[in-house]
Amino acid sequence: MKEIRVCAGGACIASGAFSVRDALLKELKEKGLDGQYKIVETGCMGMCSRGPFMVVDGVVYAKLNERAVKEIVDSHLVGGKVVEKYLMALPEGQKVKEAFKEHPFFSRQVKIVTRNLGKIDPKSIDDYIDRGGYKALEKVLKEMKPQDVIEEIKNSGLRGRGGAGFPTGLKWEFAAKQKSDRKFVVCNADEGDPGAFMDRAVLEGDPHSVLEGMAIAAYAIGAQQGYIYVRAEYPLAIERLTVAIDQARRRGFLGKNILGTDFSFDIQIRIGAGAFVCGEETALMASIMGERGQPRVRPPYPVEKGLWGYPTVINNVETLANIAWIINNGWREFRKYGTEKSPGTKVFALAGKINNTGLVEVPLGITLRELIYDIGGGIPGGKKLKAVQTGGPSGGVIPADKIDTPIDYESLTALGTIMGSGGIIVLDEDDCMVDVAKFFLEFTVHESCGKCTPCREGTRAMYEILDRISKGEGTMEDIDALEELAVVVKETSLCGLGQTAPNPVLTTLRYFREEYEIHVKEKRCPAKKCRDLISYVIDPKACTGCTACKIVCPTGAIEGELNKLHYIHQDLCIKCGSCMDVCRFDAVFKVSPPIKEDEKVQSS
């Protein structure tokens, strides 16, 4: 029986993957083909902007709907003729059949963590086993001593993919050396960084790889119980993990005497409740233990005193998804990818102003240029790249002239940002750096747990300064004060949240200080983004008097008769931009600094 793979990742489901699946079932039945084809609902195929996806005989069809399915069944399955219009196109416009091999978005990737995404049904343990699943666990339990496992992971050079990049093997070794009758393994699946969604994709698309990684970690350090702490915002991930844990228990990969050995290990899910700070390991442990999710001082580190005071290894989802692959293929194979200090691959989430949004797994050491232009397909609308934001609210911005830097833990730190969990937000000429910094600070102010003063008060004070600057009310002293505060908060905060919260401010100041100064001195926003520093005006040469803007304006700020030039009253305008959105003649444009009522502006 042949397989037809339908992507059932979160994004594809939201764009109609299930109605595609149902239509496919119906069509197959009608054509009498249901005995020949088996539909496999897989995890995320990666290029979420073009879903729903379906793969038949290696041919990749994208952007599907029910009608498309009917055409494909009629033409491809019955007639043997590929339906060109639903194929993916290369950047040059040429359509390709086997996009996973031919399209640069897919062909440049190296799939270790995402090895099963898009290939197996995440609800089926048999699919996972068929592709070599749980072999690594068996090998470890039957052929390796815990110390051998630790050596293997140490040699691989795998570093924590949650952000800090701490060597995983070393962490395991510390925990293994602790003398304790109880130990824990925790999977940190509290993926909260805005812009990152790789952990969700792995949990939804290949949950067993995470369970297998946890079981191997448990064997290596001598733990009996594991927890997966996952965000409540990821209901599909929770559902698939629940199914997977249940299946693994029934097959004897979890529970008592795993695979007939005397090793026992079980896993429970703990669901978060919307606190970003719980991604920090000590806060996460507090939350599992039924407390407020507030971090504590380290040391003692969790490997010494973790859950309920016992040694605990906390690894991120992506880190754990690497483990079985390394055991199966050996550390030398792993080290073939990536750099000396940052071996292996990293899954990046491409978002923002980029043509191909989605998830990509590439070797570390790749440059941002390759990631954004070769794989990501560049910036939409012919706009200019301005900067790249990495690491979410804990990271910083990298200006366009530094995009040839290879991406690894050290070089990103040298640029003032961090790898973080791998979110890449691409910013173009229309994005304002003061606005970006303000935005992230607003996030941290909201998410700061309030335990330590530098983070609680410092982030708020920084936000207030940024708010003033974005409104044209800032002073040059404000910029200096902002910088000083940022350094203090970075150096004195209790946990990673506060220590990294100033990064967006520090990097935008470092690379775009001039933009801050223009906001202060000229009361102008060069990107025309900061609302208090812009005005909407109508170009008399382009306006046709169609009245579209007048109709849509919520405050009645636009005056003008049919077929005559329209005019925006600045004292009534709330700068919502609706007029600009509806104008079909590009007659509405923004100016900065803002103008006053009755002030005339030359069209640009």
Partner 1 sequence: MVEEKVRSALEKAREKVLEEKDYVMEVVRYLHEEFDGYAPPEALELAAHLLEVPPSRLYEIATFYSLYTLKKEAKHVISVCASLPCHVAGGREIIETLRKELGIDFGQVTPDGMFKLEEVGCLGRCDTSPNMMIDGTLYRNLTPEKVVAILEAYRKGVIE
Q: Does 344 bind partner 1 (CB under 8 A)?
A: no
Q: Is the dihedral of CA 88, 93, 96, 99 positive or negative?
A: negative
Which of 31, 34, 49, 151 touches partner 1 (CB under 8 A)? Answer: 49
Query: How far is 410 from 345, CA to CA, in rounded Å?
Result: 15
Q: Which of 235, 252, 300, 540 lies at the binding interface for partner 1 (CB under 8 A)? A: 235
Residue 564 within binding range of partner 1, rule CB under 8 A: no
Q: Minimal distance in Å, beta carbon 362 to partner 1?
A: 16
Closest CB 267 distance from partner 1, rounded Å = 11
Q: How far is the CB of 33 from partner 1 (least distance, A)?
A: 32
- SS3 state of residue 149: helix
Task: Find the binder of partner 1 among 343, 358, 365, 472 (CB under 8 A).
Answer: 358
Nearest to 216 by CA among 116, 127, 342, 326: 326
Q: Is 515 in the site for partner 1 (CB under 8 A)?
A: no
Position 536 contacts partner 1 (CB under 8 A) = no
Contacting residues for 52 by C-beta, under 8 A, at least 6 apart: 6, 7, 12, 15, 16, 17, 20, 62, 63, 64
Q: Are 359 and 196 in contact (CB under 8 A)?
A: no
Q: Is 200 in the site for partner 1 (CB under 8 A)?
A: yes
Task: Give the contact letters, 421-460, x = binds to partner 1 (CB under 8 A), - = no.
Answer: --x-x-x---x----x--xx-xx--xx-x-----------
CB atoms within 10 A of CB 135: 14
Distance (Å, rounded) from C-alpha 456 to C-alpha 419?
24
Count Cβ atoms below 10 Å from residue 170 Cβ, excluding itself.
15
27 binds partner 1 (CB under 8 A): no
Shortest reach from residue 282's CB to partner 1, in Å? 15
For partner 1, give the closer residue by CB, 11 or 557.
11
353 binds partner 1 (CB under 8 A): yes
Query: Out of 140, 153, 230, 351, which residue is the one contacting partner 1 (CB under 8 A)?
Result: 351
Q: Which of residues 388-427 bind partner 1 (CB under 8 A)?
A: 389, 392, 423, 425, 427
Name the residue among 510, 450, 130, 29 with its Cα closest to residue 502. 510
Min dist CB 138 to partner 1, Å, is: 26
**229 contacts partner 1 (rule: CB under 8 A):** no
289 binding partner 1? (CB under 8 A)? yes
Structure tokens at 123: 């609800």
Point out which span in 32-40, 228-236, 254-262, 331-339 binds partner 1 (CB under 8 A): 228-236
- Answer yes or no whether residue 535 interacts with partner 1 by CB under 8 A: no
**Angle of the 207-221 helix axis to the 317-329 helix axis, nearest 10:** 80
- Which of 117, 114, 83, 99 has the alpha carbon at shortest distance from 377? 99
Exposed (0-12), middle (13-18) or buried (19+): which is 212, by Cβ within 10 Å? buried
- Least distance from C-beta 567 to partner 1, angstroms? 23
Q: Using DSSP, state whether 313 is helix, strand or coil.
A: strand
Residues 265, 225 contacting (CB under 8 angstroms): yes
Q: CA–CA separation, 381 vs 400, rounded Å? A: 17
Site string for partner 1, 6-25 (x = CB under 8 A): ----xx--xx----------
Nearer to partner 1, 339 or 390 (CB): 390
Instruction: Give contact residues for partner 1 (rule: CB under 8 A).
Output: 10-11, 14-15, 48-49, 191-197, 200, 225, 231-235, 268, 270-276, 287-293, 308, 349-353, 357-359, 389, 392, 423, 425, 427, 431, 436, 439-440, 442-443, 446-447, 449, 554, 576-578, 581
